[in-house]
């Protein structure tokens, strides 16, 4: 899951020199993920994983890192 998220984010939304150096806990918002990027990311996640991520849960805690994104997706896959 994280590989697909990483590929999409670093190819489409956030441009950094060396994505391999970006850990699963590093801050995506500080790296440049903005509100339009978050909306594109949510559409990608919903299409890719067949989940619905509620607008009311779009907050930094859920989109700040790859680990946070994965946990958010898993909560809705299993719930």
pLDDT digits (tens, 9 = 90+) for 41-62: 999 999 999 999 999 999 999 9
Report the pLDDT value the prediction gives residue 79, as an integer from 0 to 100: 60
Helix (H, G, I), strand (E, B) or coil at 70: helix
pLDDT digits (tens, 9 = 90+) for 18-46: 999 999 999 999 999 999 999 999 999 99
Report the predicted TM-score, pTM, of the whole model to 2 decimal places: 0.92
CATH architecture assigned to 2-13+27-77: Orthogonal Bundle (1.10)
- Domain ranges (residues) in the chain: 2-13+27-77
């Amino acid at each position: 899951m994280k590989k697909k998220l990483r590929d999409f984010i670093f190819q489409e939304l956030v441009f950094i020199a060396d994505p391999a150096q970006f850990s699963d806990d590093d801050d995506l918002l500080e790296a440049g993920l903005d509100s339009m990027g978050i909306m594109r990311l949510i559409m990608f996640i919903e299409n890719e994983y067949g989940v619905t991520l509620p607008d009311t849960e779009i907050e930094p805690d859920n989109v700040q890192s790859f680990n946070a994104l994965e946990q958010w997706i898993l909560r809705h896959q299993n719930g």
